Amino acid sequence: MLGQKMIAEDWNQESYQRVTKVRDDLMRTVPSICPERALLITESFRETEGEPMIIRRAKALAQILNGMSIYIEEDQLIVGNQASAGRAAPIFPEYSIAWVIAELDQFERRTGDVFTISDETKRKLRDIYGDWRGRTHQDEVLRNISAINKLAEEQNVIHRGGISMSGDGHIIPNHDKLLAQGYGGVMRQAQAKLGNGDLEPSQRHFYQASVIALQAASQFVRRYAQKALELAKTATNPHRQRELAQIAEICAGGLEKAPQSFHEALLLVYFTHLVMMIESNGHSFSFGRFDQYMYPFYQRDIERGVLTDEQALELIALFFIKLNSLNKVRPWDHTEFGVGYPLYSNLMVGGMKADGSDGTNELSYLCLRAMALSRLPEPNLSVRYWEGTPKELLWEAARLIRERFGMPSLFADETVIATLRSIGIPETVARDYASMGCVEVAIPGRWGHRATGMTYMNFGKILELLLNNGVDPRTGIQLISVNGRKESQVDFGSYEELWEGWRKFLKFYTDLAVESDYVCDRSLKLFDADPFASSLIDCCIERGKTLKEGGAEYDFVSHSTIGTTVVGDSLAALKKLVFDDQLVTFPELKAALDQNWQGEKNARIRRLALNAPKFGNDRDEADRIVADVYRSYLDLLPSYRNERDGSGPIGCGYTMSTSNISSYVPYGMDVGATPDGRLAGKPLNEGASPCLGADREGPTAVAKSVSKLPNSRMAGGQLLNMKFSPEALADDGNLDKFVSFIEASRRLGNFHLQFNVVDSATLRAARRNPEQYPNLMVRVAGYCALFTSLIPEVQEAIIERTEHHGF
């Protein structure tokens, strides 16, 4: 069988040793802070004062790519670095700088996402602070955000996070176009547009900047040709000399022409990803349907006899490892929302093609095998599957999941395609979707920034405010009330009255979240002008616009919604205990919440709350209310438009997503006890998953509960995380049951599945003795991370997830 051939264990020992060595060399490198990019862009901006921002950014990119340190790792075949050392994070002062200066002495003392930083680096960054103080994207946002929006953030209902202090990312370039033309072909398109005498000044600036940026990228590639030749002269191993000569030959042309080999195509894909990350410090720069656009190069080289499956596997594994040399540093209050050094660079294989046939091919299997070899968090590997997917691919995906490091995640085509059709995407277009980040989906090469991850919304906190008449117990801030009064006391005469209060509060805070998005996007239009990335997305060159100006063909965004299940379970408990069965009064239950369930009477009420129906157990009374919470938000969205509305893209609306990375943990810290029995400060639910420990009827019941949600309307991405004990998948019989479970979930109409296969005892041991578990990788949320890199609170949340022992 094809899959058996690709996943065969009899791999060349020399290649295996190379991949292992490159991986181990990289992972021995401690993440650090690199000042080079910050210094080079500061120097460039001093020289270009007064020029259009997009020109300034293009010239700055050229100066960075020409002036930064470059190196080629020993034994690596994929070249190109983001910073002066592997796993080093560059600084992007144009987006935000105040937090960097404030946290310089804290990077090495963090409880997660630790970075070393030298005194010299600290000095250099402090020296440029004056150039940027008051002139960054974050400063512009803070100048324009409303007072009431700031108060909502102080209440911990909304969190602007990355959109207020970094670039946007969340891009899948048009790899097919790029691989057909090279940088030179795209550059010529921009140059041809410059010959049009009817251009608006902004369009002319865009084309000029695109040419500068694309030329800079090509010149950057050529620097590695020279570096490879230099290393070849001193290499003592003839085999390595030939490899370096081959790298030099590929890079000498600056990747300006269409690639002529699989290796060259892979380098073009990697360099494009790398330059986008250097241009903008966003994340979720993703690879789309890798096995589709890379397959012609693989197939041609195989047929010509210049590539074997083993060599292709080695190149892909080295490519995967190389992606883990890239890094990003975030302020600590945002790091908590996504710990584990994540970049969310999704790479997708399998699934339906635009013509309705299946796209599984040899590269689909090779990518699974490469991940088994690299065993690192990047890329965020995903598998698309549908009715026509070969059973063999699901088996190989299941075997990889059994390897206990959280990948791949699985996307059910029929449901995902339906979600895209629900927002007006044609069927044939929707079939070509890919994930760009955690679980958010987009059409590669045709989509704008940020399918998800705009302003974060804490649904759990909105519920707490509702039960306190809008008064935040921690700050005393009240922005809205149930009854028009200032005090926190409130009562509800019926469940219907409580539900109407929820809808009122949800709309109020969603309005504020959309306002926050507008302010951030207007600022990013200036500060995140990205001529390189935008030139690789359809319609940007045709329109002469960046993505933030409305250059993309399609443009939809969504918030990160956190705590939908907690809210649903809490409302279900209130409905049963207070209104239906009348076992307690609302004031009695509210008093128990205020006292965090402490005391004999409150503990008794908590037992009632814990035994109330819970989502994840296939109980309609709970599942229906959780679905109602989803719909209460979904029903608001048609009235909202994003900042690009009317500027050219199709759509410009909002969708819903439950992709909330690790924010469910810090956001839970801000929420008091909730009526479902949850204690104050404990995590909210993750994604669309049940609350911690609430699912007691096994994995099938979880899948059936999730199937009752409005999954076909979740165009921003629906995330389900599950944990299994290793014994549950220990033999082929159990693995067959697991594959059947995956298939059943698809048939039920669920969107997505991802798994941790690890027992809680191992996780607790790793927390006590992290040095003994350096390679323990776990599925955190829509991404994976090394368990020992996570903050203790997130580690505990993963441990507390229900561990299923069978089907």
Q: Which of 31, 37, 26, 28 is nearest to 83 (CA)?
A: 37
What's the pLDDT at 653? 96
What's the pLDDT at 725? 94
**CA 164 – CA 516 distance, rounded (Å):** 9
**CA 8 – CA 257 distance, rounded (Å):** 35
What is the CB neighbour count within 10 angstroms for residue 646?
9
What's the pLDDT at 7? 42
Residue partners of 80: CB distance under 8 A and separation at least 6: 70, 220, 221, 224, 267, 270, 271, 274, 322
Residues 643 and 656 sit within 8 Å (Cβ to Cβ): no
φ, ψ (nearest 5 deg) of residue 125: -70, -35
Residues 430 and 521 sit within 8 Å (Cβ to Cβ): no
Average pLDDT per 10 consecutive residues for the chain, totaling 807 residues? 42 86 95 98 98 98 98 97 98 98 97 96 98 98 98 96 90 97 98 95 98 98 98 96 98 98 98 98 95 98 97 98 97 86 96 98 98 95 98 97 93 98 98 95 93 89 98 98 95 97 98 97 96 98 97 96 97 98 97 98 98 98 98 98 97 94 92 98 95 95 98 96 94 95 98 95 94 90 89 92 90
What's the pLDDT at 334? 85
Residue partners of 52: CB distance under 8 A and separation at least 6: 201, 202, 205
What is the CB neighbour count within 10 angstroms for residue 761?
11
Residues 800 and 693 sit within 8 Å (Cβ to Cβ): yes
Q: Are strands 409-412 and 380-385 parallel, antiparallel or unpaired?
A: parallel
**CA 320 – CA 315 distance, rounded (Å):** 9
**CA 94 – CA 529 distance, rounded (Å):** 11
What's the pLDDT at 503? 98
The pTM for the full model equals 0.96
Query: Measured at the alpha carbon of residue 84, what is the angle toward residues 78 and 89, in degrees to the nearest 5?
Result: 95
Element (H, E) at 32: strand 32-34
HEC letters along 401-448: HHCCCCCCEEEEHHHHHHHHHHCCCCHHHHCCCEECCCCCEECCCCEC
Ordered by where they begin, the domains of the chain are 146-165+440-718 (3.20.70.20)
The residues facing 349 across adjacent strands are 383
**CA 792 – CA 798 distance, rounded (Å):** 10
Q: Which of 731, 777, 726, 722 is nearest to 753 (CA)?
A: 722
What's the pLDDT at 662? 87
DSSP state of 754: E
What's the pLDDT at 595? 98
CB crowding 137-155: b at 16 or more within 10 Å, else e = bbbbbbeebeeebebbbeb
Distance of CA 153 to the CA centre of its chain: 22
φ, ψ (nearest 5 deg) of residue 26: -65, -45
